[in-house]
């Protein structure tokens, strides 16, 4: 045990003493804030980023002529030249397009936009929207319906507020905040597992290629070395997360005092965030980070021991990380929309996918038995992968010049002590 502690100490101190580690503790939160500000600024001024698009309308149906109206960055021009001439003009300039509307415009695929480069979704979306409005008004006129009366009726915006029934009473469900937190948790878990697991793998490769491993193995068992390396790097990750959490809490306190006025635009956001159980979510986040890291870093260590350079790891990395990547893609596209579906439940229980899937479901209050089962399976999962990885690691770290395969790894697993 003393040898394992020494390895943990070495792995931890060699990383936290680096200037880059200290700098990143303060830089990452600032970068996240800066990135959020830039995204908000870009989204606000997105119309100014694209150049003016001139759309020449060729309308064989004679329904849409002169009915298009200009919008930001899109100008419609009615040209009475033939289609061939207009297409030739559009071919000369990237900012020009030709909209061709056939007489049978309702036929699927009949309406076309010709341009030198692929049309942006903003352009095609605006054309579809305006043509839909024009056709609607045209149909009203054809049926002798007063269009002015129709348009005078104001559209009422309906807003539905989700309310959660609890033992202590009703409370706002804060669906928007929950979705944002679930996606953020999935992203953080996904990125952190790759970052810190990759550090373990690169550390094993460096020690193996420099032949330092041969000296180390003479003093400690391979399993002790692998365990110490994994725990040491994991503690580095916990240190970084703890520092970022402390800085975030301090920042939120400062923001709370700065925007404590009810008239402040940030007051509503801060009030919403205060209703979210961050302590509970944070505790689960740390559990799934630790168990997920232990599970995947053991596999990364086994991969590192089986190769002689980082370029050889690709054949092993994809099968190992595919479940995590698959769940991450589903998390930011599907799971947060249906957090209690059968797919979400099973993904949150299977150890290879649970760290990401459960963090997506957590803000939506999954049943306690599912959380308990998921955590139990995570513990079983990392114990199993650590056992498998250790048997491969003990052989792989002393193998040089031989290109490993999955068949070879299986042989290493069954080698006797």
The confidence band for 349, taking pLDDT boundaries of 50, 70 and 90, is very high
Mean pLDDT, all residues of the chain: 77
Q: Which residue has the tokens 């080698």?
A: 415
Q: How far apart are CA 363 and CA 285, in angstroms?
A: 11
Average pLDDT over residues 290-301: 88
- Examine the pLDDT at 255 and tell me if it is beyond 60: no
What is the CATH topology of the domain spanning 52-146?
D-Maltodextrin-Binding Protein; domain 2 (3.40.190)
pLDDT at 8 over 80: yes
pLDDT number for residue 369: 92
Could you tell me the CA-to-CA distances from 236 to 15, 196, 200, 339, 379 in Å, in that order? 7, 9, 11, 32, 21
Task: Compute φ and ψ for 344, nearest 5 degrees.
Answer: -65, -40
Within 10 angstroms of residue 296's Cβ, the number of other Cβ atoms is 29
User: What pLDDT score does 66 carry?
Assistant: 79
pLDDT at 374 over 90: yes
Dig out the tokens for 376 from the structure.
């139990």
Q: How would residue 139 be classed by pLDDT, with cut points 50, 70 and 90?
A: confident
Q: Is the pLDDT of residue 261 over 60?
A: no
Tokens for 77, please give them: 């021009």
Q: Can you read off the two tokens belonging to residue 258?
A: 């700065």
- Evaluate if residue 65 carries a pLDDT over 70: yes
- pLDDT value at 256 more than 70: no
For 147-156, 193-202, 399-408, which range has the lowest pLDDT when averaged over its residues? Answer: 147-156
Dihedral over alpha carbons 256, 258, 264, 270 (to 10 degrees)? -10
Cα–Cα distance measured from residue 348 to residue 357, given in angstroms and rounded to the nearest whole number? 5
pLDDT bucket at 49, cuts 50 / 70 / 90: low
Give the other-Cβ count within 10 Å of 353's Cβ. Answer: 20
Q: Which tokens sit at 22?
A: 């200290």
C-beta of residue 313 within 8 angstroms of C-beta of residue 168: no
Name the band, by pLDDT with cuts 50, 70 and 90, for residue 221.
Answer: confident
What value does the mean pLDDT take over residues 306-310?
78
User: pLDDT tens, 168-194?
Assistant: 655 555 666 767 777 787 888 888 888
Q: How confident is the model at residue 372 (pLDDT cuts 50, 70, 90)?
A: very high
* Residue 351: per-residue pLDDT: 92
In the chain, residues under CATH classification 3.40.190.10 are 52-146
Helix (H, G, I), strand (E, B) or coil at 217: helix
Output the pLDDT for position 380.
Answer: 93
């Amino acid at each position: 045990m003393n040898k394992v502690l020494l390895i943990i100490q070495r792995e931890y101190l060699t990383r936290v003493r680096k200037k880059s580690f200290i700098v990143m503790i303060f830089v990452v939160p600032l970068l996240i804030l800066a990135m959020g500000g830039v995204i908000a600024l870009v989204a606000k001024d997105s119309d100014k980023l694209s150049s003016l698009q001139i759309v020449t309308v060729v309308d064989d149906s004679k329904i849409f002529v002169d009915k298009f109206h200009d919008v930001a960055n899109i100008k419609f021009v009615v040209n009475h030249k033939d289609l061939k001439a207009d297409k030739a003009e559009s071919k000369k300039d990237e900012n020009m397009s030709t909209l061709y509307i056939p007489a049978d415009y309702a036929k699927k695929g009949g309406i076309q936009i010709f341009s030198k480069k692929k049309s942006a979704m903003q352009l095609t979306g605006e054309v579809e929207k305006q043509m839909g409005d024009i056709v609607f008004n045209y149909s009203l006129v054809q049926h002798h319906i007063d269009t002015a009366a129709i348009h005078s009726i104001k559209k009422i915006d309906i807003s539905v507020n989700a309310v959660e029934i609890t033992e202590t009473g009703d409370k706002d469900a804060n669906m928007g905040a929950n979705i944002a937190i679930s996606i953020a948790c999935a992203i953080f878990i996904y990125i952190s597992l790759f970052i810190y697991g990759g550090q373990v793998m690169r550390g094993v490769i460096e020690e193996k290629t420099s032949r330092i491993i041969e000296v180390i193995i003479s003093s400690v068992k391979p399993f002790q070395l692998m365990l110490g390396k994994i725990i040491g790097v994991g503690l580095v990750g916990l240190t970084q997360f703890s520092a970022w959490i402390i800085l975030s809490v301090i920042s939120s306190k400062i923001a709370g005092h700065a925007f404590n006025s009810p008239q402040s635009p940030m007051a509503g956001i801060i009030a919403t965030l205060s209703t979210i159980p961050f302590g509970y979510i944070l505790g689960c986040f740390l559990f799934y980070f630790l168990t997920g890291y232990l599970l995947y870093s053991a596999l990364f260590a086994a991969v590192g021991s089986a190769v002689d350079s980082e370029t050889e790891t690709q054949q092993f990395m994809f099968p190992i990380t595919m479940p995590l990547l698959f769940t991450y893609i589903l998390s930011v596209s599907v799971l947060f929309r249906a957090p209690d579906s059968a797919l979400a439940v099973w993904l949150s229980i299977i150890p290879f996918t649970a760290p990401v899937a459960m963090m997506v479901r957590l803000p939506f209050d999954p049943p306690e038995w599912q959380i308990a089962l998921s955590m139990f399976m995570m513990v079983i999962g990392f114990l199993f992968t650590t056992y498998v990885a250790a048997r491969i690691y003990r052989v792989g770290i002393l193998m040089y010049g031989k290109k490993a395969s999955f068949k070879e790894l299986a042989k290493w697993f069954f080698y006797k002590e």
